[in-house]
Structure 1
């Protein structure tokens, strides 16, 4: 029963994200917004409820099955992918580099912020 509660909660967040995106005409996918809202909720709570953890673990254990539709889609559109291989390759390379650079900058900022925060806490208690 906990699995059903957890999967329902995950799907509700996805649905709410989709509704908000469509109502506000936000240019991001609804499930992504739903995932961000779920993350914020879990961060505020400070813990993951057992039903959500159980449903998430079950989904992750079968993650490879979720890639089957994408693989089938690639085979169906193989001719188009072959015809447009250069723009696809450039988009993948550039987006990978941008993601790596953004991740590195965020990691540096977060590390500096955490070190500064800990030093200030140490001064306050000392």
Structure 2
């Protein structure tokens, strides 16, 4: 019975997310919205952790299987990655660095302003 109750909570969150996604016609991914709904239910105390544990624990044990296709894709495209590695390094280093610097400069600008009313 505890497995049925646990899976029902997870499936209800997914169903609610699907309903909301269709209602507001949003491109937001439904599984991510379902996880946010579940997080809100957990944080508010409506759902307790022990209620989800029977169904969530086996799912977490098999989670690495979902990352295997991404690893295989990287291995299959090693020659392509080897050909474009300078561009990839630039993108992986300079884009986050410039984003952080831009955000820091905007914050510094607004912190330095004085609102005189």
**Above 0.5 in TM-score?**
yes
Alignment of structure 1 residues 47-62 onto 2, 5 Å: 48-62=48-62
| Residue aligning to 1:2 | 2
Note the alpha carbon deviations across 1:73-108, whole angstroms, 9 max, x for none: 5567x38x647764697268629x76xx9xxxxxxx
Give 1:23 deviation, angstroms: 2.3
Measured in 2, the distance between the counterparts of 1:6 and 1:15 equals: 14
Give 4+ residue runs of structure 1 displaced > 4 Å after superposition: 72-76
Alignment of structure 1 residues 112-123 onto 2, 5 Å: none
Change (3 A) 1:58 1:20: same
Gaps of 5+ in 1: 102-126
Q: How many positions carry a matched residue from both structures? A: 97
Q: Would the aligned equivalents of 2:17 and 2:33 in 1 still touch at CA under 8 Å?
A: yes
Measured in 1, the distance between the counterparts of 2:17 and 2:56 equals: 18
Measured in 2, the distance between the counterparts of 1:87 and 1:25 equals: 34
Give 1:52 deviation, angstroms: 0.8
Measured in 1, the distance between the counterparts of 2:8 and 2:84 equals: 39
Measured in 1, the distance between the counterparts of 2:65 and 2:90 equals: 25
Alignment of structure 1 residues 1-126 onto 2, 5 Å: 1-45=1-45, 48-72=48-72, 74=74, 78=77, 82=81, 86=87, 90=91, 94=96
Measured in 1, the distance between the counterparts of 2:89 and 2:55 equals: 34
Measured in 1, the distance between the counterparts of 2:69 and 2:92 equals: 22
